[in-house]
Amino acid sequence: MMLDEPYRWADAVSNRREYVEDQLTGGSPVVGLGYKDGTLLLTMGRVQQKIYEIYDRIGMASLGHPTDIEKLRQSAVDLASVVGFNYSDADVTLQQIVHFGLGPAVKTSFDEVYRSPFIVRILLAELDAQDGAATFYTVDYDGAFQKSVGFAVLGGNAEADKAMQGRLDDLDWEKLSLAKAMDAALISWAAGRWMGEQTEIPEDEAELEKALAEADLPGILKAELESLVVEAAVFDRGVPGKCKYRQLTDKELASALKPYRAAQ
């Protein structure tokens, strides 16, 4: 039995990691960014929806296999609904969903080598959490999760993550308008897209940053918008009622994308 042979188990896990990372490389990145009136989630794709409302102030964006995304989305919705029904809306938190729901479920699937792993990376956002106006968690394909405040990104690989973060690190996100948050998120997306498509990535960090600085990110956006559409939603604290989720209107999207469609 493989479970009785630690070395074979370790090899199997290593192979699974390599396989999943290969499947995710080149996937369309997702960006979560706080702004002065709420929280923005943004990605690009063709037809498959990738941004969802999980609960009143909690949302999810992801990249990976559509079936795996849907399984985890439903799991998150079910957990939030049960807690909200049995206790109260205030008891439904992003920390609870990640720590007791998605994280353990994804890790179990990855560690049990006789089961198919989830081919997915997930970004979750919560508006007005106790410890920050815009709180994010990322959940990786192996169940590892990380919390951040202000922004979070997911690309097809670790290098894409770093490239995207570098475009957002210096932002004073609490003062951003939605329009400026949209533009920053689009440029961050383009950085992740560019990095995910590189066949050879410089090992030296300075060389990598130089190559990224020379990349035509607006040009990448113009090219990608010929075949992809932007999917974006916000949790807007100005929306009346408990549910703060709304998808951006065509007018809002057109205004944000105008600089990248000028030549069309």
pTM: 0.92
- Sequence-distant (6+) residues with CB within 8 A of 103 are 139, 143, 144, 145
| C-alpha dist (Å) from residue 30 to 14, 70, 123, 128, 243 | 26, 16, 8, 21, 22
Instruction: Assess whether pLDDT exceeds 60 at residue 112.
Output: yes
Backbone angles phi, psi at 111, to 5 degrees: -75, -30
How far does CA 15 lie from the centroid of its chain? Answer: 24
Backbone angles phi, psi at 91, to 5 degrees: -85, -10
pLDDT confidence of residue 1: 47
pLDDT in tens, 154-168: 999 999 999 999 999
Distance CA 192, CA 187 (A): 9
Mean pLDDT on 212-218? 90
199-206 own/partner pairs: CB under 8 Å, 24+ apart:
201/159
**Cα 90–95–96 angle (5° rounding)?**
70
- Please say whether the beta carbons of 59 and 51 come within 8 A: yes
Which is nearest to 181 in space by CA: 244, 262, 256? 256
Could you identify the residue written with the tokens 């560019």? 194
Distance CA 70, CA 75 (A): 8
pLDDT band for position 264 (50/70/90)? very low
User: Which CATH architecture best describes the domain 29-253?
Assistant: 4-Layer Sandwich (3.60)
User: Which residues are 38's β-sheet partners?
Assistant: 35, 236
Provide, rounded to the nearest whole percent, the portion of the chain with pLDDT above 70.
95
